[in-house]
Amino acid sequence: MIITRRISLTKLVCFTWPQLLALAGFILLACVAMAQIPQEGLRALSFAAGFLGTALAFLIGFRNNTAYSRWWEGHQIWSQLKYHSRSFALLVQGLVAGSEALDREQRALIYRQIAFAWRLNQYLRKIPAGEEQRELLADDESASIEQQATPPLAILHRQNQRLHALLAQGDLDSYQHLRLLDSLEAFNQVLSSCERLKKTPFPMQYTWFMNYTLTVFLFVLPVSLAGHLGYLSIPFSLLIGYAYIMLEYVGRHIERPFDNTVNDVPMDYIARTIEIDLRQLLGESDLPAPIKPRGKGYLY
């Protein structure tokens, strides 16, 4: 997630240089056209540029609103994970305690929940399990989880097994067991919601049509302005065209909130917050450092 209020022009150009290069090429063609085509013919293209620009503005606005809704939904899902993780830890502390063995079981359950948050993060970003999981789970348990197709689900399955074992041993009654199972159901819902957002792309028909329309618009824009402004059309074409390019770029990137880019939901930050909160509930004082923004304001 980009949290800085300022971003350099160099960064913007780095993000969008292919489209900017295409726009520069079209402006060069407009300069050639000014010497070959009568001014009246160039002015006639201004109607096409006006209609295309209006249609494109509506299309980009619709796409960006929908893309932001996807990003915001991803953030809400991870906020729910933070809430349910805290609730689960409080329940475990209240229900699973009383002896040294149960205290160890309590710690293992809470550690496993922290591992779930980190592994869900890495699973969505398609990166291997990090050092966090190895510190929270036993080596054999971690290896078994990584053999599964969906490691976060395997962690929930392990939690479910331990809760059933505690019920069978008499350390939990039926009501306490159901309360904790409700939390596991909430975590499974978080996992499924994240998978839905990750694996259901924005309809590609909109993307294709918008890319084609944007390309035609960037071609027509400098030529049409050349009929009215002459060589002054060059800076105006750059300004107007680049505004459309940047708006298209924003929508294209925020529609994928779990892609391991600077536009992601800050899953590292939320997972580390969950870890710190749950470790503090266990009474630990040696806590990991909070995640801080990288570079010039990129929070992962």
Q: What is the pLDDT of residue 259?
A: 87
Q: At what angle do helices 174-199 and 151-169 cross, to 10 degrees?
A: 170
Which two structure tokens, joined as six digits, stand for 202? 């924005």
Does residue 287 fall inside a structural domain? no
- Rounded to an integer, the average pLDDT of 152-159 is 96
Q: What is the pLDDT of residue 170?
A: 87
- Checking if the pLDDT of 98 tops 80, the result is no
Average per-residue pLDDT for the chain: 86
Task: Give the residue from 170, 195, 163 showing the smallest Cα distance to 88.
Answer: 163
Does residue 295 fall inside a structural domain? no
- Rounded to an integer, the average pLDDT of 235-241 is 83
- Rounded to an integer, the average pLDDT of 151-162 is 95
Does residue 297 fall inside a structural domain? no
Does residue 286 fall inside a structural domain? no
Contacts of 195 (CB under 8 A, 6+ apart): none
In this predicted model, what pLDDT tens digit does every residue of 253-270 receive, in sequence order?
A: 888 899 888 888 999 999
Range of the structural domain that residue 117 is part of: 9-281
Beta bridge partners of 2: 298
Domain count along the chain: 1
Write the DSSP symbol of residue 200.
S
- What is the DSSP annotation of 22-38? HHHHHHHHHHHHHHHS-
pTM: predicted TM-score of the whole model, two decimal places: 0.87
Burial code (b: 16+ CB inside 10 Å, e: under 16) for 275-290 equals: bbebbeeeeeeeeeee
Q: What is the pLDDT of residue 42?
A: 67
Does residue 1 fall inside a structural domain? no
Does residue 292 fall inside a structural domain? no
Torsions phi, psi of 201, nearest 5?
A: -75, 160
Query: Cα-atom radius of gyration of the chain, to the nearest Å?
Result: 27
- Checking if the pLDDT of 293 tops 90, the result is no
Q: What is the pLDDT of residue 41?
A: 66
In this predicted model, what pLDDT tens digit does every residue of 157-167 receive, in sequence order?
A: 999 999 999 99
Does residue 3 fall inside a structural domain? no
Does residue 291 fall inside a structural domain? no
In this predicted model, what pLDDT tens digit does every residue of 33-79 receive, in sequence order?
A: 676 766 666 677 777 777 888 888 888 888 889 889 999 999 999 99
